[in-house]
Amino acid sequence: MKICFLKKFYSKIFVEKKEFFFNSLIYSNAKGQVSLEYLLIVTAFFSILLIVLPIAVNTMDSFLFASDDLTAKSIVSELNENISLMNFLGEGSSRVFDYSPLKGLTIYSIGSKLIIQTESNNFEVETFSPQLIQKTFFDSKFSITLKKSSKGIVVQVQ
């Protein structure tokens, strides 16, 4: 009877250990499956990010170029109007205009033409008098001053 009892006892322990082993094996596989799914989701996220990020950067650069082109057109239009107006005003009259490009503008003069250059286009303003403006790149706020003198209209860029 004692042997029979021990046999039942040990067989019960063996079965419980066997069930515990299989349950823990299944449980550890479930943990592995969760980790694998997590890694797949993270990989998919970074893959999509790698595809979308260059497109977004190119779109932003295009927007900045277009914005600076619009700023340059605005400067040309405003200066053309005010140069015409300055011709009718008396000597010593002046006007100051402030601008802020997003990416950058280059301003210089060739003879009596003021040239405003963006990365993609050049814009010209006829000042009707020779100007001495060296090629200067502006990536932040700058001002253009128009002054009427006896020699004509003088343009200063600061």
Q: Would you write out the chain's pLDDT as a tens digit for each of its 158 residues?
A: 555 554 565 555 555 555 555 555 555 555 566 788 889 999 999 999 999 999 888 888 777 778 889 999 999 999 999 999 988 888 999 999 999 998 899 999 999 999 999 988 999 999 988 999 999 999 999 999 999 998 889 999 98
Cα separation values, 129 from 72, 76, 87, 109, 153, Å: 21, 16, 11, 11, 6
Beta partners for residue 124, in sequence order: 115
This prediction has a pTM of 0.64
